[in-house]
């Protein structure tokens, strides 16, 4: 890993954008809600205060909501692998980078996902202040970017300027032509100390920790899951905005002289998600589906498979849920139960 000193983060942003299409979180038409949008002349300077996550995570760039997998023209099956243009995601926060790494493992053998992922360079930014509703330190997903999670990492220094770390050969190659000075090794030690200071500013998350323990010990009674299930409207807001959710379905639809198969996002909170052809449904009640969802997010079994929990502490589910069964609400209910 090579380290450099950078005076202004937007000098890096503009330099990278001159080489590839670059997307960064922005408010659309002045909206306070952030979305991933292409960099233009009207894009405001990169925000460096309290971190704000884009409403939709970056998974849409690699695992689109809908995509055609192949077509059949009556004689031949024709694969429709994407041929993406190389691009840059600039300003990805640590929780979302951890989620991308999680998806990388889930879709390791998926050529559609991997084609888009290989074409994308990730630029991460350390969070200097806790975000609203976030609890990334509790699930080891932040607030600073983990090693190997991004090609380039930007850390705002307490004195002035930025520490820029190149964590991949591709990221380092794109820095050519940008006048940078090498950073001293002591800057890494300063960054480590700074992370501990930021972590100390997060509010207590004992309800998350206790909830995780009770889920893994199977101490949550079925009746409590059923009560939580009654609040679920099956709107799929949480699964759509969760950066690690990867449920999908596929169906065939008529096309010219044949058909095409489309893959689209699905949700384990839908009644028919696990329903079998026989009519049997292993998660027939809403309570069973809510239990299954949170088991996937916080079970030690899945952590062994993916190297971390399926929750990265972003808090999006809490903000979008109309039924008040986002992560904080659910975990407070579980942890407070006798």
Walk along the chain (338 residues) in steps of 10 and give the mean pLDDT of each run: 95 98 88 91 88 95 97 92 97 98 97 98 97 96 97 91 97 96 94 96 97 97 95 95 97 92 97 94 96 96 94 97 94 90
In whole angstroms, what separates CA 283 from the centre of its chain?
Answer: 26
Please report, for the chain, how many H helices and E strands are present, in that order: 12, 12
Helix, strand or coil, per DSSP, at residue 211:
helix
Q: Which of 84, 83, 37 is nearest to 56 (CA)?
A: 37
pTM for this structure? 0.96
- pLDDT, averaged across the chain: 95
Query: Which tens digit of pLDDT belongs to each residue from 68-126?
Result: 999 999 899 999 999 999 999 999 999 999 999 999 999 999 999 999 999 999 999 99
Dist. CA 99–CA 89, nearest whole Å: 14
d(CA 315, CA 49): 19
Distance in angstroms (rounded) separating the CA atoms of residues 145 and 124: 7
Instruction: Round to whole Å and give the CA distance between 57 and 35.
Output: 9
pLDDT value, residue 23: 98
At 47-83, the pLDDT tens digits run 888 889 999 999 999 999 999 999 999 899 999 999 9
């Amino acid at each position: 890993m090579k380290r450099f000193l950078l005076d202004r983060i937007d000098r890096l942003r503009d330099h990278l954008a001159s080489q590839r299409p670059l997307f960064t979180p922005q408010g659309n038409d002045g909206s306070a809600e952030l979305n991933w949008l292409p960099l233009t002349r009207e894009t405001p300077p990169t925000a460096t205060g309290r971190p704000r996550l884009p409403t939709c995570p970056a998974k849409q760039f690699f695992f689109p909501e809908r995509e055609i997998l192949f077509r059949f023209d009556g004689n031949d099956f024709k694969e429709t692998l994407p041929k993406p243009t190389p691009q840059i995601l600039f300003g990805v926060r640590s929780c979302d980078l951890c989620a991308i790494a999680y998806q990388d493992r889930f879709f390791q053998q998926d050529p559609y996902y991997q084609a888009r992922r290989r074409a994308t360079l990730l630029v991460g930014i350390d969070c200097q202040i806790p975000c609203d509703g976030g609890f990334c330190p509790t699930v080891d997903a932040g607030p600073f970017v983990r090693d190997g999670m991004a090609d380039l990492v930007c850390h705002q220094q307490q004195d002035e300027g930025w520490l820029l770390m190149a964590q991949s050969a591709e990221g380092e190659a794109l820095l050519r032509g940008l006048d940078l000075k090498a950073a001293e090794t002591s800057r890494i030690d300063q960054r480590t100390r700074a992370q501990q200071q930021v972590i100390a500013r997060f509010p207590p998350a004992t309800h998350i920790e206790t909830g995780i323990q009770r889920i893994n010990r199977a101490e949550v009674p079925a009746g409590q899951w059923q009560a939580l299930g009654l609040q679920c409207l099956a709107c799929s807001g949480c699964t759509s905005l969760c950066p690690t959710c990867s449920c999908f379905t596929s169906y065939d639809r008529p096309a010219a002289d044949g058909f095409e198969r489309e893959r689209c996002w699905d949700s384990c909170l839908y009644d028919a998600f696990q329903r079998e052809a026989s009519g049997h449904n292993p998660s027939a009640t809403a309570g069973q589906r809510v239990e299954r969802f949170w088991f996937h997010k916080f079970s030690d079994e899945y952590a062994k498979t993916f190297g971390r929990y399926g929750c990265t502490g972003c808090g999006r589910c809490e903000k979008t849920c109309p039924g008040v069964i986002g992560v904080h609400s659910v975990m407070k209910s579980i942890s407070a139960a006798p």
